[in-house]
Structure formats: structure tokens, C-alpha cells
A and B are shown apart, each in its own frame.
Chain A
Amino acid sequence: DQQVKQNSPSLSVQEGRISILNCDYTNSMFDYFLWYKKYPAEGPTFLISISSIKDKNEDGRFTVFLNKSAKHLSLHIVPSQPGDSAVYFCAATGNSGNTPLVFGKGTRLSVIA
């Protein structure tokens, strides 16, 4: 059973507009949520994270929103740029030392100039 779900395999957005990537989770024991970005032929790189005690975390053009009651989080990119075109993975983990990250299947974002 998939614990972290990214139901949109792909998303296309015009340059300058907002990109919204969604993620749902089923395990209520998850305490932290992270977003990773992956370009072709490279390893994933960390983008932004949020603790379950917060509902929003912002870093420049990237904002992550967490709705614990709905077990849903979203990543907003404003404004979107062509260099943001990549695969974005949502991941979740617990707070203990031996809790590995659980990844979603990813969403491929294409920002069109």
C-alpha cells in the first residue's frame, strides 16, 4: 500500500505562472515532509521541508503547505521558471532515528517559456 501518493504524473505550466504540486499521505505517524527535485541523469536534491507542527514553510519562490487533517501537502512555485522543469518527489518520515524516508512516485513539471 502506497503511503505517499503523488497522483499527477505530470504538470505543464507557463513561465511566470504558479506551479502547484500535490502530495497525499496515509500514515498519521509521519512527522516531517520533504520535497526533492530531480533533473535527468542526476541524483535528487533537497528542496524544502516542513514539520507536522507547522502548516506553511517558505523559501524564496518555493512554499510548502501542510494540511494535517486532510493528510495533504502541496508545493507552490511562484513564479515558475524554465529551470524549474524537473521531476519533483514528495517524501515523508517519522521523527525517530531509524525511520527511512518514504517517497512518492514523482510529478514531472514542465515550465513552458
Chain B
Amino acid sequence: NAGVTQTPKFRVLKTGQSMTLLCAQDMNHEYMYWYRQDPGMGLRLIHYSVGEGTTAKGEVPDGYNVSRLKKQNFLLGLESAAPSQTSVYFCASSPIAGGSSEQFFGPGTRLTVL
């Protein structure tokens, strides 16, 4: 099993460009999440999904859109990138949410917006 994979691993964008980050999981998990990690800020939840076809806003959703058309994939889109979106992005999945359910993380995507 590959677990959680993220594509691409690195990307440099110019301000105003758009891009999509792809997250895939092969564990048949219902729940998927997108986080960003900034220096000194920990992990902040951007959007999450409780199942195929559903999405919900997290703590910092502005400037991002997401889609979960297939259970195994969770896409994060930046329509018009800004330097403030320079960050490391992590995708995660879990079989359930809440309680002691462990989240499994991907290796991350390092995005730089110039």
C-alpha cells in the first residue's frame, strides 16, 4: 500500500497563477483533509471532506477550493495564487473522524509563490 501520496512534491508559481494539488489514498478512508504548515504556526486545517462528494471549510479556507469527486482523491485548488500562500501543504486521511482515529499524512507539497 502506498498510503497517502501527494502530487507534485515541489512547485513555484507566480502571483496570479493557478494550480491544483492532488492527494490520493489507497486505504479506503472516508475522511480526507488538507493542511498548511507555516514556520511557527503548526498545522492549520484548510478544508476537509467527510466522504465522496462532500467538502467543508476548515480554519483557513480563503483562497482555496477543493473537490472530492472520487473517494480516493482530494484536490486542492488555488485559483489565483498569492505570496501569502507560500507554504508546505499536507494531505491526510482517516477512516473516521474524532475520537482516537489516527490521521495518515502524505509527504507534503512545498509551494512557493513569487
Contacts and interface: CB of A to CB of B under 8 A. Distances in A.
B50 to A, nearest CB: 6
**Most chain A CB inside 10 Å of its own CB: which residue of B58, B90, B97, B108:** B97
Interface residues of B, number: 27
Contact of A43 (B40, B96, B97, B108): B108
A32 B102 CA distance: 11
A100 B48 contact: yes
A97 interface: yes
A5 to B, nearest CB: 10
A96 B98 contact: yes
Interface of B: 4, 33, 35, 40-45, 48, 50, 56, 58, 90, 92, 96-100, 102-108
Interface of A: 6, 9, 31-32, 34, 36, 41-46, 49, 51, 89, 93-101, 103-106
